């Protein structure tokens, strides 16, 4: 067993976990705010867009087989510009971490731990993440795969919606007009954020073949299907006007559900969800750590991860109000556009022009 | 005295001694004048002879036979009879070596043959051993009831007679700087990964202790992680289980004086496999596997979930249960964590008290503890009866694990979970679960991943973890031990299809 290497399927689950953990619970509301009852169509389009972006990634990665994306930046743009871009990418990753951490903290504070101080919840999320993020990629990939066994729990619990579905809420299809649907693609892609992990994880793959990388497409595809399933389930449960004002519609469905032995499924489910969402923190912490390692030419990413965790912890203590978190979340799409779409595409084109290939 | 010591230290080998008296003095000095070192000097004409042995180590029957023979025959012939196991030693034997022979229970016969020392060692060790019994901590319903005892050779016999294969390799090691203890590494050289054998050998060679008094003690010197609560070696006292694990490509380690056999590399699920699973029907085996995994979760999480529910999330209790639950809890003066801690600690006390007491008293302790404390503590209003149910269920679940070490790991681990639950509710439990999972993922047993068939995921490994498929379907060995040949056997039950 090679250390510090992953298989194609592990890449698939790393991507899947990162994407799923970020916004699965709140995403239907955001999309419905733009696309109304055609939110699910926007999700399909969003999923296709992401698949397109991942194909661009695969082209890019095939040009830098053994070099990490961070190092490839310096190879393509030269030392100074490359390092600058790397620095900005790290800032972007820290931004993502902040967003993820504070959204989770907000969710937990809203839903289960109303009186627990913010910093305690942050520590509860960050310390377990740090414990794994300082270790190597193989273990992180194993964690992501193990955690994926919890995903069916989400799908099965949501199945209870179909005891009394209102499929009429979906009709007429396309009533919002194509403009609204296209507008809905923006939050849909934002909800799928996390696909950029393929860029950062790909050079760990044992055999850097196109077929292995394509398993990243499968991961993103599975997430798209899960999201479409969730959106449709939410839409046949809530009337659209209702949906637009419900913050975590997936959890609200569970709140309505009452089993014989457990009355509030949502609280128990959220316990599972915290475990799933930690995978996101772990993945981002690890990637940011390796980014800093590449920037400062460190031997390990260990201390970088510890430092980043501390920075994220300190900053997120000050992000308290919902308004601030919403502000951050609104920036997500434009950040994604720049760092996950524009820069990789530009890098691909420049590397074509300058005939740079990262293959040792 | 000091001057004497100096003179003695000069001599290294027996053949440096000039006179017979000097030899005896030297031996006495090297053994520290221990009273149980018996020296018998025999004189006959010019042949001076001394017989040396530890009377505390030798077999008295053998010894009297030997003396009888020596007094009658030794002066006449050089040939020893076949009944006596002798070995001629070189005449330049050092005193340290001589003492080692004596400590191994041999008798040294040193005779002066016209200026040259003739040294003969005679095997005369007396071994006291327990008969072969069923190990009390690993009782099974069906299957072989044979267990190891404290004699290494007997134990190796039990293993080899079950695995009659030329590929079964036994390597001896001597551990302990003060007292050498014979230990053995057992593996099948056509199955066990040579890298792992090398790793195990390296770790054993690195052990530097004064006295290796038990296998469990040595385990701490060779395991991967000292600070993990989880056992990284499987302990077993059953030859049948050892043989089955060797057939998986695993490596076994045994020591003279200890009936326990250490097996590595193992994974988490190995500890939940009982030999009974394979003797019964597969549905029953699968059911009990699932039950044991569930018991792991119950023993670990039930008190924590109860505490979190009572102190944070009362709303998850269904409507019909709310009133009974509230009635049970409302008059209790302590917070749920203290209730749980008091009761859990009581159970641990009862267990610890009962374990070393003779059986009849042990039962009394059980009754006093279980009935009197359990009942009285509820009547007194210290602890709610719901908590008694929870703790009792937890205690029973924790004893379901067929491995003692895993059982202790689970019992220790539920305390941090209880504390986390009382501080943060379900969020704390979730954080605890993550740390536990991450720890298990990081943990290694002889450099192989501990959570093997699950992380990293092997579909073929699942056949014998949560579930147990029928024996004929278990045709591949588990991947975590990297066996050289994954295929266990070929196609079975072909006659089932051939009839049609």
pLDDT in tens, A266-292: 888 888 888 888 999 999 999 999 999
pLDDT tier at B27, thresholds 50, 70, 90: confident
Average pLDDT, whole number, for chain B? 86
Other beta carbons less than 10 A from residue B443's beta carbon: 18
SS3 state of residue B88? strand
Residue in this structure with the two tokens 């491995």, named with its chain if needed: B403
Whether the predicted pLDDT of A359 surpasses 80: no
Asked if residue A354 is part of any domain, the answer here is no
> What are the pLDDT digits (tens) for B348-367?
888 888 778 877 777 787 77
Mutate to test the interface with B, among A104, A113, A282 (most CBs of B within 10 A): A113
Q: Do B312 and A139 touch (CB under 8 A)?
A: no
SS3 B118: strand
Q: Who wins on pLDDT, B497 or B1? A: B497
Rounded to 10 degrees, the C-alpha dihedral A174/A177/A180/A182 comes to: 80
Which has the higher per-residue pLDDT, B9 or A155?
Answer: A155
The predicted structure's pLDDT at residue B161 = 92
CA of B217 vs chain A CAs: smallest distance (Å): 29
**Rounded to two decimals, what is the model's pTM?**
0.90
Contact A194, A49 (CB under 8 A): no
The reported pLDDT for the residue numbered B5 is 53
Closest CA to A230 of A151, A164, A177: A151
CATH of the domain at A58: 1.20.1740.10
CA of B491, closest CA in chain A: separation in Å? 29
Residue B111, helix vs strand vs coil: strand
CA distance B417 to chain A (A): 13
Residue range B337-354: mean pLDDT, rounded: 87
Has residue A309 got a pLDDT over 90?
yes
For residue A88, give both structure tokens.
């900005």
B85/B103 Cα distance (integer angstroms): 17
**Given B424, B435, B449, which is nearest A128 (Cβ)?**
B435
Chain B hits for A1, CB-CB cut-off 8 Å, are 456
B427 and A274 within 8 Å at the Cβ level: the answer is yes
Are residues A261 and B318, on separate chains, in Cβ contact within 8 Å? yes
CA distance A340 to B60: 86
Flag whether residue B318 sits within 8 Å of chain A, measured between CB atoms.
yes
Residues 6+ apart with CB under 8 A from B118: B88, B91, B110, B111, B112
pLDDT digits (tens, 9 = 90+) for B78-114: 677 777 778 888 877 788 888 888 888 888 888 877 6
Please tell me the distance in Å from A126's CA to the nearest CA on chain B.
9
Distance separating alpha carbons of residues B63 and B240, to the nearest angstrom:
37
Contact B155, B148 (CB under 8 A): yes
Contacts for A203 with CB less than 8 Å, ≥ 6 apart? A61, A64, A65, A66, A67, A68, A69
Across the interface, do B437 and A275 touch by the CB < 8 Å criterion? yes
In angstroms, rounded to a whole number, what is the distance separating the alpha carbons of residues A20 and A44? 15
Provide, as residue numbers in chain B, all residues whose Cβ is less than 8 Å from the Cβ of A112. 312-313, 425-427
Q: Identify which of A51, A73, A77, A52 has the alpha carbon closest to the alpha carbon of residue A64.
A: A73
Between CA B228 and CA A167 the distance in angstroms is 53
| Per-residue confidence (pLDDT) for residue A2, from 0 to 100 | 56
Q: Where are the domains of chain B?
A: 2-123, 136-266, 280-449
Percent of chain A residues past pLDDT 70, beyond the cut? 98
Task: List residues of A whose CB lies inside 8 A of any B CB.
Answer: 1, 108, 112-113, 116, 120-121, 124-125, 127-129, 131-132, 135, 139, 142-143, 145-147, 149, 258-264, 267-268, 270-272, 274-275, 278
B residues 441-480 closer than 8 Å to A (CB): 441-442, 449, 451, 454-457
Dihedral sign for Cα A291, A296, A297, A298, please: negative
Give pLDDT tens digits for B394-428. Answer: 989 988 888 888 988 998 999 999 999 999 999 99
Helix (H, G, I), strand (E, B) or coil at B131: coil
Nearest Cβ partner for B434 among A121, A128, A261? A128
Residues in chain B: 500
- The answer on pLDDT for B8 being more than 70 is no
CB contact under 8 A, B313 and A264: yes
Q: What is the mean pLDDT of residues A146-172?
A: 85
**Inter-chain CB pairs, A–B, below 8 Å:** 95
Q: Across the interface, which of A127, A142, A264 has its CB nearest the CB of B316?
A: A264
Q: CA of B311: which chain A residue's CA is closest?
A: A113
Q: Provide the pLDDT for residue B361.
A: 78
Residue A319 backbone zone (phi > 0: left; psi -120 to 50: alpha; other: beta): beta
Mutate to test the interface with B, among A278, A280, A285, A286 (most CBs of B within 10 A): A278
Would A305 be classed as within a structural domain? yes
CB atoms within 10 A of CB B258: 24
pLDDT score of A1: 46
Angstrom distance (rounded) from CA A71 to CA A124: 33
* In a domain? residue A59: yes
Binary contact (B318, A272; C-beta < 8 A): no
Q: Which two tokens stand for residue B348?
A: 């641990």
Nearest beta carbon to residue B427 from set A108, A129, A264: A108
DSSP A166-234: -GGGGPSTTTTHHHHHHHHHHHHHHHTTTTTHHHHHGGGBSS--HHHHHHHHHHHHHHHHHHHHHHHHH
Q: Which of A11, A109, A124 to mutate to test the interface with B (most CBs of B within 10 A)?
A: A124
Q: Average model confidence (pLDDT) for chain A?
A: 87
More confident residue, B27 or A31: A31
A146/B437 Cβ within 8 A: yes
Contacts of B316 in chain A (CB under 8 A): 262-264, 267-268
Cβ atoms of B23 and B17 within 8 Å: the answer is yes
Joined together, the tokens standing for residue B210 give 């004064």
Dihedrals phi, psi of B253, to nearest 5 degrees: -135, 130
Burial class (CB in 10 A: 0-12, 13-18, 19+), B59: middle
What confidence category does residue B197 fall into, taking pLDDT thresholds of 50, 70 and 90?
very high
Q: Are B176 and B218 in contact (CB under 8 A)?
A: no
Between the alpha carbon of residue A271 and those of residues A151, A268, B421, the distances in Å are 13, 5, 12
Q: Which DSSP string do the residues of B300-328 spell out, in sequence order? A: HHHHHHHHHHHHT-GGGS-HHHHHHHHHH
Integer Cα distance of B430 and B305 in angstroms? 10
The beta-carbon neighbor of A146 closest among B424, B429, B454 is B454
Q: Which residues contact B288 (CB under 8 A, 6 or more apart)?
A: B274, B276, B277
Average pLDDT of the residues in B334-340 = 90
- Cα nearest neighbour of A258 on chain B: B318
Asked if A2 contacts A141 with a C-beta cutoff of 8 angstroms, the reply is no
Chain A residues touching B427 at Cβ < 8 A: 108, 112-113, 116, 121, 124, 271, 274
Contact in structure between B303 and B394 (CB atoms under 8 Å): yes
Interface test mutation site (partner B, options A6, A120, A146, max chain B beta carbons within 10 A) = A146
Distance from CA of B254 to the nearest CA of A (A): 28
pLDDT at A358: 64
Query: How many domains, in total, are found in chain A?
Result: 1
- CA dist B197 and B214 (Å) reads 21
Q: Which of A121-135, A333-347, B245-259 has the lowest mean pLDDT?
A: A333-347
Rounded Cα distance, A206 and A260, in Å = 48
The distance of B277 to chain A (nearest Cα, Å) reads 26
- Given a cut of 50, whether residue B1 has pLDDT beyond it is no
Chain centroid, CA B222 distance in Å: 13
Q: Check if the beta carbon of residue B189 is closer than 8 Å to that of residue B167.
A: yes
Which residues in chain A are contacts of B439 at CB distance < 8 A? Answer: 131
Nearest CB to B426; choose among A147, A260, A271: A271
- Asked if B456 and A272 come within 8 Å (Cβ–Cβ), the reply is no
User: Chain A closest CA to B426's CA: distance in Å?
Assistant: 6
- Helix, strand and coil percent figures for chain A, each rounded to 5: 80, 0, 20
Q: Do B431 and A145 touch (CB under 8 A)?
A: no
- Given a cut of 60, whether residue B9 has pLDDT beyond it is no
Residue B470 half-sphere exposure, CB side, CA atoms within 13 Å? 4
- The three-class DSSP label of residue B86 is strand
φ and ψ at A209, to 5 degrees? -100, 160
List the domain range (segments joined by +) for residue A171.
8-344
Q: DSSP string spanning A24-92?
A: TTTHHHHHHHHHGGGHHHHHHHHHHHHHHHHHHHHHHHHHSSSS-HHHHHHHHH-HHHHHHHHHHHHHH
Residue A25 token pair: 């619970």
Shortest distance, CA B276 to any CA of chain A (angstroms) = 29
Residues of B in contact with A146 (CB under 8 A): 437, 441, 451, 454-455, 457
- Say whether the peptide bond before residue A238 is cis (omega within 30 degrees of 0): no
Establish if A360 belongs to a structural domain.
no
β-bridge mates for residue B263, sequence order: B234, B252
Distance, CA of B333 to CA of B383 (rounded, Å) = 8
List beta partners, residue B54.
Answer: B37
Given a cut of 90, whether residue B497 has pLDDT beyond it is: no
The residues, any chain, with a CB within 8 Å of residue A313's CB and separated by 6 or more, are: A119, A122, A123, A126
In a domain, A166, yes or no: yes
| H-run or E-run covering B448 | strand B448-449
pLDDT digits (tens, 9 = 90+) for A31-72: 888 888 888 899 999 999 999 999 999 888 888 777 888 888
Q: Which of A190-194, B46-50, B417-421 has the lowest mean pLDDT?
A: B46-50
């Amino acid at each position: 067993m090679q250390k510090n290497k992953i298989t194609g399927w592990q890449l698939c689950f790393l991507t899947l976990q990162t994407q799923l953990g970020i916004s699965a619970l709140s995403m239907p509301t955001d999309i419905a705010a733009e696309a109304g009852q055609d939110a699910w169509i926007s999700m399909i389009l969003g999923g296709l867009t992401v698949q397109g972006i991942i194909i661009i990634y695969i082209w890019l990665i095939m040009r830098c087989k053994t070099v990490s994306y961070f190092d490839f930046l310096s190879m393509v743009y030269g030392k100074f510009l490359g390092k600058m871009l790397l620095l900005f990418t790290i800032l972007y990753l820290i931004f993502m971490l902040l967003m993820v951490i504070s959204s989770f903290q907000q969710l937990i504070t809203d839903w289960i731990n109303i009186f627990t101080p913010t910093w305690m919840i942050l520590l509860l999320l960050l310390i377990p993440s740090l414990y794994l993020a300082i270790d190597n990629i193989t273990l992180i990939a194993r964690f992501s795969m193990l955690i994926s066994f919890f995903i069916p729990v989400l799908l099965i619990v949501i199945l209870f919606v179909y005891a009394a579905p209102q499929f009429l809420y979906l009709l007429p299809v396309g009533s919002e007009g194509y403009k609204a649907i296209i507008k809905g693609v923006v939050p849909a892609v934002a909800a799928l954020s996390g696909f950029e992990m393929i860029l950062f994880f790909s050079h760990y793959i044992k055999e850097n073949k196109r077929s292995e990388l394509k398993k990243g497409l499968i991961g993103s595809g599975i997430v798209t299907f899960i999201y479409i399933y969730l959106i449709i389930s939410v839409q046949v449960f809530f009337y659209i006007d209702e949906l637009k004002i419900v913050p975590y519609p997936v959890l609200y469905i569970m709140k309505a559900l009452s089993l014989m032995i457990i009355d509030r499924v949502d609280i128990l489910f959220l316990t599972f969800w915290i475990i799933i969402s930690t995978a996101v923190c772990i993945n981002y912490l690890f990637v940011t750590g390796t980014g800093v390692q590449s920037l400062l030419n460190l031997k390990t990413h260990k201390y970088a991860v510890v430092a980043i965790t501390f920075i994220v912890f300190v900053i997120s203590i000050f992000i308290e109000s919902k308004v601030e978190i919403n502000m951050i979340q609104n920036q997500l799409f434009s950040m994604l556009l720049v760092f996950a779409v524009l820069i990789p595409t530009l890098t691909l084109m420049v590397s074509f022009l300058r005939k740079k290939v990262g293959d040792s | 005295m000091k001057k004497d010591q100096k003179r003695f230290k000069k001599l290294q080998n027996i053949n440096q001694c000039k006179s017979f008296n000097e030899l005896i003095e030297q031996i006495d000095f090297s053994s520290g004048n221990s009273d149980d070192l018996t020296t018998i000097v025999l004189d006959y004409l010019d042949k001076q002879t001394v017989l040396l042995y530890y009377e505390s180590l030798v077999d008295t029957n053998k010894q009297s036979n030997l003396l009888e023979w020596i007094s009658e025959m030794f002066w006449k012939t050089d040939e020893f009879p076949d009944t006596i196991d002798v070995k001629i030693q070189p005449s330049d034997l050092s005193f340290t070596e001589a003492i080692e022979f004596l400590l191994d229970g041999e008798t040294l016969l040193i005779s002066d043959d016209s200026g040259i020392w003739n040294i003969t060692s005679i095997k005369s060790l007396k071994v006291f051993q327990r008969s072969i019994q069923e190990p009390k901590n690993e009782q099974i319903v069906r299957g072989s009831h044979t267990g190891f005892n404290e004699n290494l050779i007997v134990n190796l016999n039990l293993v080899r007679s079950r695995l009659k294969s030329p590929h079964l390799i036994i390597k001896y090691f001597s551990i302990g700087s003060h007292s050498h203890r014979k230990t053995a590494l057992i593996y099948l050289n056509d199955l066990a990964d040579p890298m792992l054998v090398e790793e195990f050998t390296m770790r054993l060679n690195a052990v530097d202790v004064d006295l290796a008094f038990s296998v469990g003690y040595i385990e701490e010197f060779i395991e991967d992680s000292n600070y993990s609560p989880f056992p990284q070696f499987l302990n077993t006292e059953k030859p049948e289980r050892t043989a089955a694990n060797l057939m998986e490509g695993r490596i076994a380690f045994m020591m003279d004086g200890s009936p326990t056999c250490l097996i590595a590399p193992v994974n988490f699920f190995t500890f939940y496999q009982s030999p009974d699973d394979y003797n019964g029907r597969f549905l029953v085996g699968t059911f009990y596997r699932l039950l044991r995994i569930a018991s792991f979760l119950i023993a670990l999480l039930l008190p924590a979930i109860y505490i979190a529910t009572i102190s944070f999330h009362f709303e998850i209790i269904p409507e019909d249960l709310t009133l009974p639950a509230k009635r049970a809890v409302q008059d209790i003066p302590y917070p749920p964590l203290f209730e749980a801690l008091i009761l859990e600690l009581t159970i641990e006390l009862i267990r610890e008290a009962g374990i070393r007491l003779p059986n009849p008293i042990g039962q009394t302790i059980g009754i006093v503890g279980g009935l009197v404390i359990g009942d009285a503590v509820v009547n007194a209003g210290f602890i709610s009866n719901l908590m008694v149910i929870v703790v009792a269920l937890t205690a029973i679940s924790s004893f379901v694990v067929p491995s003692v070490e895993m059982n202790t790991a689970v019992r220790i681990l539920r305390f941090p979970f209880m504390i986390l639950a009382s501080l943060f509710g379900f969020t704390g439990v979730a954080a605890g679960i993550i740390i536990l999972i991450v720890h298990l993922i990081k943990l290694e047993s002889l450099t192989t991943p501990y959570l093997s068939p699950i992380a990293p995921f092997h579909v073929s490994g699942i056949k014998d973890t949560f579930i147990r498929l029928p024996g004929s379907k278990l045709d591949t060995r588990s991947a975590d031990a990297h066996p050289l040949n994954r295929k266990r056997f070929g196609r079975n039950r072909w006659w089932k299809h051939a009839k049609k």
